[in-house]
Structure 1
Amino acid sequence: MKNKLMRSLSVCAAMVFLILSFAACGSQKSTQSSDKVVNIFTWANYVPDSVVKQFEKQTGIKVNYSNFSTNEEMLAKLQATKGSQYDVVICSDYIIEVMSKQKEILMQPIDKKNIPNYKNVDPQFLAQDYDKQNKYSIPYTLGTQMIVYNPEKVKIDIKGYKDLWNPQLKDSIVLVDDPRIVIGMTLKKLGYSMNETDSKKLNQASEELKKLKPNVKVFDADTPHNSLINGDVSVGYMYGSQASAAVKANPKFKIVYPEEGMNSEEDNFIIPVKAPHKENAEKFINFMLNGKISNEATTSNEYVNTNKAAKQYMSKEYLNNKAVYIPDAELKRAERFKDVGSATKTYDRIWSEFKQQ
């Protein structure tokens, strides 16, 4: 009888423990969802401090800002945490395409009813191939690359990619250190897509790159404009924000939109599948899509603005900056990077051979 009673008491105690545990979990979940924080994951300085401070003051929500260097690094972190550590990630279009094809999708659909400023996004930047319904992503900015050169040192008229192969430019070019961008430029020179997967065309691009190597003096992902500014090189192929920095340092520098057609990359807001503060994530995205805030962000980071409500706030300096305010006609014919699947290995091989040449 005593043993039976003890067993009964043990069962009751276990049930009470389980009930209390579930209650504690529910309480923890409720507390977590109401935390006044939002965890942002993107490149360094991509959201200006001034904007972050305004959001915190307006909403009372603290921004925890974490950085990554590449989209691939971001994806590895999301995979490691199973999409549970961050609330808002700002990343590029092609990596969103990659993530959408994975068995376990690390993004959650965005409820646009909770983001009324979604209406401010310029329609030309919506419904792209990487997310045709904008199910998982909302555009933040657009980046592109261009040629910038010093006309006092370069005696040829540079109009496009093909001119970078001119022997007169021997040992005088800086290239942004990125395989898709440089190989893509080469494919465009040959009349192919920047997303080419045909092995014969890629091998042709590989041979073409070998002809370019004597002209290349510097590879630099982060500050290629510095080599141009300090006179180490006279020509550069780099991001618009970097070209803008070069021209600000020396207004005599010329910016060229390559006649073969530019590349463009959209950076987007996404919400990870297990974001701990989904409501705060929606508030942050909606805040960033305010026209005035959007203009402040792109004025600071000098990327192409994708927000139609921002134009009324743009300064003459921004509107006259060829590096960051690019005509719609150029943007509409620009080609976007796509996931090239198994051809990625070929791109890696071409790049490795090119740099080791």
Structure 2
Amino acid sequence: MNKLSRIAVAILVACLALWLGIVQLQKSQGFTKDNTLTLYNWGDYIDPALIKKFETKTGYHVSVETFDSNEAMYTKIKQGGTAYDLAVPSDYMIEKMRKAKMLKPIDHSKLTGYQNLGQSFLNQPFDPDNRYSLPYFWGTLGIIYNDQLTSQPITSWSDLWQPQYKGDIMVVDSARDMMAVGLIETGQSVNSTNPAALEKAKQRLDQMAPNVKAVVADEIKMYMVQNEASVAVTWSGEAAEMLANNSHLHYVVPTEGSNLWFDNLVIPKTAKHEKAAYAFLNFMLEPKNAAQNADYIGYSTPNTAAKKLLPAATRNNPAFYPSNQLIQKLQVYSDLSPTTVGLYNDLFLEFKMQH
């Protein structure tokens, strides 16, 4: 054997030893392909400490992949490739995935702690009897305002049309959410498919246009925290982060009602580790774990037993845990046809072009 061949063999042996070492390390840590749970989640949407706790408790390794939109998540799962064991879509997307037969039914007999979930968060129209999903977090669409820059508290969607807010309101770059504001203002369902009703809602938004400073997304947080805008339309979870950084900010769910949104855990049909998936579902149903996660994320938990473990200032805050009376006025988005979604988008684009 010449010198070059000996070097090649030595490299090969070293690589093999390294590979075997990695495999052995993974096995010693429980990180084998057969007991790895693959979770497809929104970014920074679970306390990392809970992942470690779950791994230590169960011996399963958790591989987390993230997405930034329901549509991106849907496409990735639809295309196949990665076999996700659990995913966290929102309400209307769960309905779409259910209709497309992309989800495995959840066997409730394998669940422990299901009774911890509040009845008002179960049996929603997008998943009757929770056959395919379990609520993970929930929240609302509402208004955040700065008490130093507004003359009085804001309580209603109609306040956004007040001339005193000219050029000073930030609104979310979301067709569904802003059209919902217009629809609620004109007395319609946030799931309306009537072109005339949608046009009327858009016209109502047009009347607000002089008050709109900008149509943006994450930038709302910076503007509001730094006192560069007095009012914004945003989601409760985003608002929680802003409130933590500016004591003059307040979040309200308008008295007329709003959108109630859900992010739920589902088991995609391509899942390969169902036993691990149920272990994770049961782990997250435990009140202590759900409370820890809610405290870390800042969103509202549907786990009523977990809510009792949260700080009083949090669980008694009507902005994030509205009264049952107000919850009755909240509407959950339904999955709309591509044609209707296109109409929403077109009308919203016409509104945006004014800014």
TM-score, normalised via structure 1 length: 0.86
| Residue-by-residue CA offset, 1:65-124 (whole Å, 9 max, x unaligned) | 111111111101111117x6200001111111112222xx11011112222222221121
1:40 aligns with 2:39: yes
1:212 aligns with 2:191: no
Alignment of 1:51-62 (within 5 A): 51-62=50-61
Q: CA deviation at 1:245?
A: 2.3
Alignment of 1:329-340 (within 5 A): 329-340=325-336
* 2:68 corresponding residue in structure 1: 69
Give the Cα separation in 2 of the matches to 1:257 and 1:322.
9
Letter aligned with residue 59 of structure 1: T
1:344 aligns with 2:330: no
1:126 aligns with 2:127: no
* 1:7 corresponding residue in structure 2: none
- Identical positions, percent: 32
Comparing 210-219 with 37-46, greater Cα deviation is found at 210-219
Tell me if structure 2 keeps the 8 A contact 1:141–1:268. yes
User: How many matched pairs?
Assistant: 323
| Residue-by-residue CA offset, 1:280-301 (whole Å, 9 max, x unaligned) | 0111111111111111111111
Tell me if structure 1 keeps the 8 A contact 2:255–2:326. no
| Residue-by-residue CA offset, 1:164-223 (whole Å, 9 max, x unaligned) | 011211111111221111110111011111111111110111212222222112333235
Q: CA deviation at 1:237?
A: 1.2
Q: CA deviation at 1:159?
A: 2.0
Give the Cα separation in 1 of the matches to 2:65 and 2:121.
26
Q: CA deviation at 1:151?
A: 2.2
Give the Cα separation in 2 of the matches to 1:309 and 1:153.
38
Larger Rg: 1
Tell me if structure 2 keeps the 8 A contact 1:39–1:86. yes
Alignment of 1:174-213 (within 5 A): 174-213=170-209
Unpaired segments ≥5 residues, structure 2: 1-30
Letter aligned with residue 95 of structure 1: M
Tell me if structure 2 keeps the 8 A contact 1:223–1:242. no
Give the Cα separation in 2 of the matches to 1:225 and 1:323.
17
The alignment partner of 1:202 has SS state of helix
The alignment partner of 1:58 has SS state of helix
* 1:93 corresponding residue in structure 2: 91
Letter aligned with residue 257 of structure 1: V
Please tell me the root mean square deviation across aligned C-alpha atoms, in Å: 1.8
TM-score, normalised via structure 2 length: 0.86
Q: CA deviation at 1:234?
A: 0.5
* 1:6 corresponding residue in structure 2: none
Give the Cα separation in 2 of the matches to 1:270 and 1:253.
35
| Residue-by-residue CA offset, 1:225-272 (whole Å, 9 max, x unaligned) | 221111221001111122222222222323322011021111111000
1:355 aligns with 2:346: no
Of the candidates 209, 223, 232, which is equivalent to residue 228 of structure 2?
232
Unpaired segments ≥5 residues, structure 1: 1-31
Give the Cα separation in 1 of the matches to 2:108 and 2:306.
19
* 1:20 corresponding residue in structure 2: none
Of the candidates 164, 169, 172, which is equivalent to residue 160 of structure 2?
164
1:154 aligns with 2:150: yes
Give the Cα separation in 2 of the matches to 1:212 and 1:131.
35
Give the Cα separation in 1 of the matches to 2:62 and 2:113.
20
The alignment partner of 1:187 has SS state of helix
Of the candidates 265, 268, 271, which is equivalent to residue 267 of structure 2?
271
Comparing 127-136 with 316-325, greater Cα deviation is found at 316-325
Tell me if structure 2 keeps the 8 A contact 1:159–1:258. yes
* 2:302 corresponding residue in structure 1: 306
Give the Cα separation in 2 of the matches to 1:256 and 1:191.
20
Q: Which runs of 4+ in 1 moved over 6 A?
A: none
Q: CA deviation at 1:158?
A: 2.3
Tell me if structure 2 keeps the 8 A contact 1:33–1:277. no
